[in-house]
Structures are given as C-alpha cells and as structure tokens.
Chains A and B, each alone.
Chain A
Amino acid sequence: DIQMTQSPSTLSASVGDRVTITCRASQSISSWLAWYQQKPGKAPKLLIYKVSTLESGVPSRFSGSGSETEFTLTINSLQPDDFATYYCQQYHSYSYSFGQGTKLEIK
C-alpha cells in the first residue's frame, strides 16, 4: 500500500501569510493527488485534484504542484476562513490513502 506523509503536522501562520504544506508518497503516484480542507465537525471539502487542478469554486489563492512522490499545497495571502486541517490523498492505486493531516493554526 502507498503511504502518504504530510509535513508539518501543525503550522502556525497569520492572516496574509503565504504557507506551504508538503505531502510525500512512499512510491510514485504520478499526478494522482488531491487535497482537501476540513474544519472541525464538518466533512472534508475537495480543493485540488490531479496535483494542481482547482475544484470549482475554490479560491485562486490555493495552488498545488509536484509530481511522482513529492507534492505541495500553497495558500497565498491567508484568509481567516483558511484556518483548518488539510489532507492530501493519493488515488493512483487501491487502497486509496490519505496523509495524516496538517493543522493550520492562527499565530
């Protein structure tokens, strides 16, 4: 099975900052990577798929990059609504798997 590892586990930042979250796969997953945002008590929300394609309605301050085994999610000009937990997910092969999550906190 493919293991997904995110870093950091927790990230403290301020409104207006630019932040980057990294996701590493234990083997190549080509471009089959998605990112989700989850707020407390809510279901996750799809942000990005196929590494860098923004889901409809997602603000352009979110962007994704990477390939094979290393991927990043970047959020430019953090907004108050962006403080949440972020997960990457590989869909290269079954079992699909998620990273352990990165909690983005207000500094």
Chain B
Amino acid sequence: QVQLVESGGGLVKPEGSLRLSCTASGFTFSDYYMSWIRQAPGKGLEWISYISSRSGSIYYADSVKGRFTISRDNAKSSLHLQMNSLRADDTAVYYCTRDHGGYGGFFDLWGQGTLVTVSS
C-alpha cells in the first residue's frame, strides 16, 4: 500500500526540540523529492522544507530556517525533521509529502499528519 506515516509529534515546551519521522511504503522512496508541510490549528497550509531524492538540494521556508533540519535515509525509506528552538507559532499538524512524479513541486501523496504543540 502506497503510504506515508508520520510519527514523533507531541507536546514540547518553548525553546525545546522535537524530531519528526515519516516512513514511506509502497513506492521507491529514493526516486522522490520530499517535503514537510504544516498547518496551524484552523489555519491554512504552509510549506516548510524540501529535500531532493539524494539529499543534494535542501530548501527551507524563512519561518524555520536555522531552526529546522530536514534529512532522509533512503535505505530505510524514511524522512526526518529535526526541530529546535521551538516557538508557540510552530504549533501545527506536520505533514510529510511526496512530490508528484518524483520532483514535481506539488504533492500527490500526504501522510495523515502528526500534531506538534509548543506550550509551557
């Protein structure tokens, strides 16, 4: 079954850290660029980071640059997001997504999302 499953969300204090993971199955993970997209409660979608298939290209939104680090392990079909210096406005559901056709820039497969809550 083609799917993405996120894990690692939870409650964290401001300035704390959290590492999200996404496990892919049912397709050749190493063929695809991947992104993390988040959605604050009741709000819209925000793309936050992208990684190319061999990790050669990585981009971040300004809102997370310098605090978040995206990585992948193609041998384990997994994607990660290390989040440091977390702030209240990082509270959101975080989605792992797959680029359409490998590197389309738009997203044809989404995980179910994992909720990150930053609060004291």
B-contacting residues of A (Cβ < 8 Å)?
A: 1, 32, 34, 36, 38, 43-46, 49, 55, 87, 89, 91, 94-101
Taking the closest CB of chain A, its distance from the CB of B4, in whole angstroms, is 9
> Who on chain A is nearest to B4 by CB?
A43
A-contacting residues of B (Cβ < 8 Å)?
A: 35, 44-47, 50, 59, 61-62, 95, 100, 104-108, 110-113
- Complex alpha-carbon distance, A28 and B58, angstroms: 24
Taking the closest CB of chain A, its distance from the CB of B20, in whole angstroms, is 15
- Complex alpha-carbon distance, A35 and B18, angstroms: 31
Contacts of B95 in A (CB 8 A): 43-44
- Complex alpha-carbon distance, A43 and B44, angstroms: 12
> Who on chain A is nearest to B110 by CB?
A43
- Complex alpha-carbon distance, A49 and B45, angstroms: 17
> How many pairs, one residue from A and one from B, have CB atoms within 8 Å of each other in the complex?
53
Name B47's contact: one of A49, A97, A100 (CB within 8 Å): A97
- Complex alpha-carbon distance, A94 and B35, angstroms: 12
- Complex alpha-carbon distance, A101 and B35, angstroms: 20
Taking the closest CB of chain A, its distance from the CB of B102, in whole angstroms, is 13
Contacts of B46 in A (CB 8 A): 98
Q: Are B106 and A98 in contact (CB-based, < 8 A)?
A: no
Q: Are A94 and B108 in contact (CB-based, < 8 A)?
A: no
The 5 closest A-B pairs by CB, nearest first: A91-B105, A43-B110, A34-B106, A96-B47, A98-B45
Contacts of A87 in B (CB 8 A): 44-45
> Who on chain B is nearest to A85 by CB?
B44
Taking the closest CB of chain A, its distance from the CB of B72, in whole angstroms, is 18
Name A91's contact: one of B61, B62, B106, B110 (CB within 8 Å): B106
